[in-house]
Amino acid sequence: MKAFLILEDGHVFTGTSIGSEREVVSEIVFNTSMTGYLEVLTDPSYAGQAVVMTYPLIGNYGICYEDMESGRPWPDGYIVRELSRVPSNFRSTDTIQNFLKKYDIPGIAGIDTRALTKILRESGTMNGMITTKEYENLDEVMPRLKAYRTGKVVEKVTCSEKSVMKNNGYRVALLDLGAKRNIARSLHERGCEVTIYPAGTKAEEIIASNPDGIMLSNGPGDPKDCGPIIDEVRKLYESDIPIFAICLGHQLMALATGADTYKLKYGHRGGNHPVKDLETGRVYISSQNHGYAVDTNSLNPAVATAAFENVNDKTNEGLKYTGKNIFTVQFHPEACPGPQDSGYLFDRFIRMMEVKKNA
């Protein structure tokens, strides 16, 4: 069946419908990963967005459900150049086509994703519609496209209740802002007992549990839409508990301590983003998925200083908090998908808890 992608700047791409045939309006973003499409689809940070995969062939190793980074996929739509019809992988139990239909996600294949990505890079991220209806008059849909907002999506993706991954090591409280499974798994594999809390949990409850450390996860949307959560993060900052924050958690900690955030032109999404450790000068290849960044000009050096920088565009990739056992990064050290260059940051967090406990 024929399908159309209509952008709010008037561009129209024609392709083939994949997945659900329902019509959807969303924010269109692109991901440059060459592999890991299932992990991309199940990353809660994509809630409220439709994802364009820049790699031209998607689906060639099928769907392996045990590799999902959450219990379901989150993008509003999925856009690819070519979809593999016959996956080849001994672990595969399904196809992307069936996966998208199962979860009612509309998609479109057969369009020029390179041209689409160039538009998004030059004009910036914009809204769009995936539809099987051929509109003769685009004025009919433009108001809907321009009015779309991702809204408060953290509440949509967070867990509904507290859960615990038992272990014998340090006890970590993980605030689930849209956490990928591999964050808790990375801590658990290092011996930590991980208690996962819903995003709306009060700081007092977390502090009262007397954890050895606190982890703030990744998540979707504009960090400034998380006002009540920011208030609780400020209380966590004021505690003396070691804290490690990733992606949205990094942004919320910055906002909670007086810094500012802003929207990037087209964001960083993919498994091939170089980041530089400003203390050592070493560069790591990182996995990223975010559309907002911390404004380093708004930092108070008495509170925090830049620790990592994006090599491509010099935007902030991490902060070290002055006089506090707190460090935060914009990228994903837990990877999945992506390189594991920065997985050592979990070990740094473990050492931080160890030093604090033995002080």
> Does the annotation list 45 as a binding residue?
yes
User: Considering only CA atoms, which of 195, 189, 156 is closest in space to residue 72?
Assistant: 156
Active site residues: 247, 332, 334
Residue 292 annotated as binding site: yes
Q: Which two tokens stand for residue 117?
A: 């990505």
In order of 79, 80, 118, 131, 158, the CA distances from 14 in angstroms are 11, 12, 17, 10, 35
- Cis amide bond preceding 337, omega within 30: yes
CA–CA gap between residue 176 and residue 110 (Å, rounded)? 36
Helices 248-256 & 227-238 angle (0-180, nearest 10): 70
291 is in an annotated binding site: yes
Q: Is there a binding annotation on residue 33?
A: no
Burial of 179 (C-beta count, 10 Å sphere; 0-12/13-18/19+) = buried
Dist. CA 77–CA 103, nearest whole Å: 11
Determine whether the annotation assigns residue 221 to a binding site. yes
358 is in an annotated binding site: no
CA distance 134 to 58: 26
Establish whether 248 is an annotated binding residue. Answer: yes
* Annotated binding-site ranges for L-glutamine: 45, 219, 221, 248, 251, 289, 291-292
Residues of the binding site: 45, 219, 221, 248, 251, 289, 291-292
